[in-house]
Structure 1
Amino acid sequence: MTLKNFALASGFIAGTALATTAAFAQVGEIPDRTAPYYYGHDMMWGSGQWGGFGMILGPIFMILIVVGIIYLLRLFGGHGPGGTSHAAHDRALALLKERYAKGEIDSEEFAERKRVLAD
């Protein structure tokens, strides 16, 4: 992983964490526990913002975040689609030049194969 790709991936992760923190900070103030209208946590199927769906959507959301981070790291790390095609092209061109230098192929075949590699 190059330094530029690492910086992009870590910047994306930090930005996502900052946005998530800001979104959670806007939920509202914590109710006064001494007030007569406070009845507890409503953790399961209460009348909270998400109710019981938070137990289902929460883990799914976290799994999606982890999968997205892994995908971005693989994409920026060069393991994604086309990550090694440049190195393979350089190796094929070097072998072609070596065969031409040894006299195994003539100049016409060398030019034709080089054109095919360029495409």
Structure 2
Amino acid sequence: MMYGDGWMWGSGMGWGGWALMSIMMVLVWALVIAGIVLAVRYLGGPRQSVGRSHGSPQTSAEDLLAERFARGDIDEEEYRRRASLLREHR
């Protein structure tokens, strides 16, 4: 009963079969964890990016202009000129 008669070795699977089963179990758990992560990210709602939001449809041109003025990219004269142009072309 020591060699070949036990349930573990008697089925003919041997070490190769057990190694394959171990690898498959790791792959199954990896797929389960990946599925949970993807579900949480999908169901978690939209993410808000940190930093400037150029190209975002919710940001108006006036908001971007005000942001540039607040950062000091443009001076007050430039801000007023561009803001009036934007208001004229609405």
Scaled by the length of structure 1, what TM-score is found? Answer: 0.35
Higher relative contact order (CA 8 A, sep 6+): 1
Q: Which has the larger radius of gyration?
A: 2
State TM-score, norm by structure 2: 0.44
